[in-house]
Amino acid sequence: MPAEDRQRLLDLALLSPTSFNIQNWRFVVVSDPEQKKKLRAAAWGQEQVETAQLVLCGDVKSWQKAPERYWRNAPAEVQQQLVPMIGQFNENSGERVQRDEVMRNCGIAAQTLMLAAKAMGYDSCPMIGFDAEQIAQLINLPEDHAIGMLLVIGKAAQPARPRGGQLDKSEVVVENRFGG
């Protein structure tokens, strides 16, 4: 993938929405061939990891780190309302919700990347098949970050396999509430 295409994809990913606009996702672009080999080993030998690789992770404590920067271009009254809410929400919600927010936001960013990549003529594959601790060590993941997924973007070596099975819409769409 040419560097300008990779930059375009990353620029689009930065437009992905996040709760309170905290932009807690982080994108580790792995371009070094030796690093890719190590990541492949940590991903149980999956070949696609070595061809094109992004690690989507997030800063679980980003809400504590100068939260005013997320709203620096907003009118003062918006800043005065939203910046304190960031801390209040996260302090009251606890670490699980903070981590869940990273996972949700990584998922939204991954979908943005995948759709943009397809529009640019690339294929993609989100992956959770890896040893997270090994990946964390390889990318020197800070303590207050969590890995969401690996995302491979590039040209498919072969056509995608047919779907293994699709649940009927009646099994996955619930109207109003479960159980009636």
Q: Note whether residue 88 is domain-resident.
A: yes
pLDDT tens figures, 60-96: 999 999 999 999 999 999 999 999 999 999 999 999 9
pLDDT tens figures, 105-139: 999 999 999 999 999 999 999 999 999 999 999 99
The mean pLDDT of the chain is 93
Per-residue CA distances from 126 to 1, 4, 14, 60, 144 (Å): 17, 22, 18, 21, 23
Give the span between the Cα atoms of 146 and 144, in whole angstroms.
Answer: 7
Q: Note whether residue 178 is domain-resident.
A: no
Q: What percent of the chain has pLDDT over 70?
A: 99
Q: What percent of the chain has pLDDT over 90?
A: 84
Q: Note whether residue 167 is domain-resident.
A: yes
**pLDDT of 180 above 70:** no
Q: Note whether residue 179 is domain-resident.
A: no
Q: Note whether residue 93 is domain-resident.
A: yes
Domain of residue 65: give its range. 3-172
* pLDDT for 160: 82
pLDDT tens figures, 17-44: 999 999 999 999 999 999 999 999 999 9
Q: Note whether residue 76 is domain-resident.
A: yes
Q: Note whether residue 23 is domain-resident.
A: yes
- Its pTM stands at 0.90
pLDDT tens figures, 49-62: 888 788 999 999 99
Kind plus residue range of the DSSP H or E element containing 11: helix 3-13
* pLDDT for 49: 86
Number of domains in the chain: 1
Per-residue CA distances from 98 to 35, 111, 134 (Å): 29, 20, 23
**pLDDT of 156 above 90:** no
Instruction: Quote the distance between the C-alpha of residue 134 and its chain's center.
Output: 18
Q: Note whether residue 140 is domain-resident.
A: yes
Alpha-carbon torsion 165, 168, 171, 175, what sign? positive
Residues 73/83, Cβ–Cβ less than 8 Å = no
DSSP string, 54-81: EEEEEETTGGGS-GGGGGTTS-HHHHHH
The burial of 138, by beta-carbon neighbours within 10 Å (0-12 exposed, 13-18 middle, 19 or more buried), is given as: middle
* pLDDT for 178: 92
* pLDDT for 40: 94
CATH number at residue 101: 3.40.109.10
